[in-house]
Amino acid sequence: MDTRPAAHFLRIGRPLPKELIGYQHSTLDQGNRLGLGPLGVRVGDLPEWIAGCRAVHISPGDYLSHLSLPPHLHEVGVPRVTLDPSMMYMDPAFRSELPAIVKGLEAFLPSLMEARAYYRQERLSEWEMAEAFSAMGCPLVVIKCGARGQIVLEAGTGRRWSVPAYPARVVDVTGAGDAYCGGFLVGLHSTGDPLEAALMGSVSASLVIEGTGALFALESLPDLAQARLQSMRRSVGRA
């Protein structure tokens, strides 16, 4: 949706909002090594209260933002930082730069498309890519595989899980990855269990894709998320 909104709204059977006519996608310049794009986040942009947070997730953004924000968050006392990379720097040309972003994160959460783009010269398997990312200095790696679910690797123990996507009725996948990452972070912070975090991420994504609009998931039935979580716990496989 972010790169071709007209095609996206046609696909889901909704009119293109007039505000998106002529829209240029938000990933422009995210791979720039020399400066930030118009949506780039600087350390000075962060509010002072973020120092009191126990966990922070960084969504896809500029390369320089992703390079500078995690060390600063750790410096001000945030113990747990997770990050979803931008497609614009998940490229072999950033082979020497990416480890500086990944090292020190609690979890690195690329999509399968991003992982394959970064390792396209080596043609690694999904688990080999997860292991390679983990070797950069990150205890948890999650590769989001869309409708196939996710794979989760815990570096310290070698444990790994294949977590299916919840079988939701798909209306609009916009925001599914962000919802997954948010659910994962909440699960990881509240339980300390990577598998439980992955299950909560999958449930979060399932609620978002069944409708359209940024606030759709907030209208879910009160016990729906918990019921789906219980169902997901029975469907996990170990790779």
Q: Please report the pLDDT score of residue 211 as a whole number.
A: 87
DSSP for 133-173, written as a single string:
HHTTT-SEEEEE-GGG-EEEEETTT--EEEEPPP----S--
Which residues of the chain fall short of a pLDDT of 50? Answer: none
Q: Please report the pLDDT score of residue 76 as a whole number.
A: 96
Q: How far is CA 195 from the centre of its chain?
A: 16
Q: Please report the pLDDT score of residue 4 as a whole number.
A: 73
Alpha carbons 22 and 6: distance in angstroms, whole number:
10
The residue among 140, 93, 95, 90 whose CA lies nearest residue 115 is 90
Q: Are 43 and 69 in contact (CB under 8 A)?
A: yes
Q: Are 133 and 141 in contact (CB under 8 A)?
A: yes
- Indicate the domain borders of the chain: 1-27, 42-238
Alpha carbons 145 and 110: distance in angstroms, whole number:
9
Q: Please report the pLDDT score of residue 9 as a whole number.
A: 75
Q: Please report the pLDDT score of residue 198 as a whole number.
A: 97
Q: How far is CA 76 from the centre of its chain?
A: 23
Q: Please report the pLDDT score of residue 24 as a whole number.
A: 67
Q: Please report the pLDDT score of residue 189 as a whole number.
A: 96
SS3 56: strand
pTM: 0.89
Domain boundaries 42-238, CATH class? alpha beta
Q: Are 40 and 69 in contact (CB under 8 A)?
A: no
SS3 210: coil
